[in-house]
Structure 1
């Protein structure tokens, strides 16, 4: 995850930035173009309708589900688009819960006869972190398949984009999807629209993403969104550091119990002499 200093253009990984770029009816051509590049010809989206992002279950006791973005395609297929900035331990579980909730809501309430036919559901996760540190491709497509790798069910698809794994430089970009991912990763520290992004769709994106084009109310909302992202990052970072320090202290205690020298303990754990003395 990266937290760049505020730049000329909004950070697409803030809640405000993500929804300003992808989440409004006047700008839905941006989302359609991005998704079509992501599907790479396997599916072509003609139009999208934005749906309510807060969904209630059929029972009053059901937990509410709040999506980042929820859209319906021209053929009734549904798209959940989730932007996740900070690593979440059960992010995959959350994604599965989201699609399960959406599938459940396809069940007609008043119809007595229903043949169980479902419409396709797609979840697209745009992540500013990685599931792991492997060198696998930055896009993962997950579907239901049998033990021989043959597709078992083609109406449920997860697509995860791990932005930190996208490491291509400008001269290495060779597709419109590459351009999109480069833009999402670097937009917060770009000073001007690069020549290779002069396609009209990107010109529109830069126009709506320029901080100086925000009205007073939107600028306040964006500043609040940036502050929220930084506060959350700081909280997670503090928790991580506290956990690391606790682990070091525990290791040092065990080494002390075994009679190992202070010098060796400090070398192994990285604790200072004063920190070691406090154990």
Structure 2
């Protein structure tokens, strides 16, 4: 038995993208939507199938669905930080939206499209863990069309205690962030209020991986960890280069000040560690 990490997109897709778990997905989607937009049924457009990405470990494991009103959804779990994720989210919305048009089909056939991004990192300069973006007139605040709706759920910004949860989305976010802490024998009352979360915990408890799935999951997990490590190394390299540049700039500023005070070059060389030529160049730049 292999307890899955739900924040790995493979596990997320296996739970939320399986036909037998559609009611779990519907409950999660409803927790994100406004009350007047609640749904009762969906059709999965790319249901979970390990064979479909067996030969492509880097494929995007999102969940695509259409509800009974014709609204399209794209739900994705992203565990590793990525530059320009806001642009990526907009691109995925555009691809799903324009993908509804077939040759010869009129624009009036386009339907509302909602993208839900569940992120294991901070992406937006906002305090709230859940933020929604739509198309509005910047002056009147009137909505141009309701066809664009992009949600960001940033798990790192969710820091509520169980006693503080209030909404259905609070409860689902609690589950998504800490699913590994719960099992069928330890389901807090606050989460058990939503039967689909209780079911999701029980499904995770019972979920197992066959040999092919285990290989895929481990490969996916390794790739995600490698991506995270590469990102951390790049960030550390950038910080180190920034520190070095900062030290050099600090030295040059000190030299400039000493030159302006008329301090002898030999003493400046001793104080700064710069060469006579470097100091002379700085002096020339001041004189220019």
> Normalized against structure 1, the TM-score is what?
0.77
**1:84-123 paired onto structure 2 within 5 Å:** 84-111=78-105, 114=106, 116-123=108-115
Which structure features the higher share of helix residues?
2
**1:179-194 paired onto structure 2 within 5 Å:** 179-190=171-182, 192-194=186-188
**1:143-162 paired onto structure 2 within 5 Å:** 143-146=134-137, 147-162=139-154
Q: CA deviation at 1:101?
A: 1.9
Q: Is 1:138 paired with 2:132?
A: no
| Distance in 2 of aligned mates of 1:171 and 1:80 | 31
| Distance in 2 of aligned mates of 1:254 and 1:108 | 58
Structure 2 unaligned runs (5+)? Answer: 48-58, 256-272, 274-288
| Distance in 2 of aligned mates of 1:160 and 1:42 | 20
**1:227-266 paired onto structure 2 within 5 Å:** 227-259=222-254
Q: CA deviation at 1:38?
A: 1.2
| Distance in 1 of aligned mates of 2:61 and 2:144 | 27
| Distance in 2 of aligned mates of 1:215 and 1:131 | 32
Pairwise CA RMSD: 2.6
Q: Which residue of 1 aligns with 2:261?
A: none
| Distance in 1 of aligned mates of 2:151 and 2:142 | 18
Which structure: larger Rg? 2
> Normalized against structure 2, the TM-score is what?
0.75
Q: CA deviation at 1:249?
A: 1.0
- The answer to whether the 8 Å contact 1:17/1:209 transfers is no
Q: CA deviation at 1:222?
A: 3.0
Between the two structures, name the one with larger relative contact order (CA 8 Å, sep ≥ 6). 1
SS at 1:241 equivalent: helix
| Distance in 1 of aligned mates of 2:170 and 2:160 | 8
Q: Which residue of 2 aligns with 1:49?
A: 43
| Distance in 2 of aligned mates of 1:52 and 1:162 | 24
Q: Which residue of 2 aligns with 1:263?
A: none
Q: CA deviation at 1:104?
A: 2.0
Which structure features the higher share of strand residues?
1
Q: CA deviation at 1:221?
A: 3.3
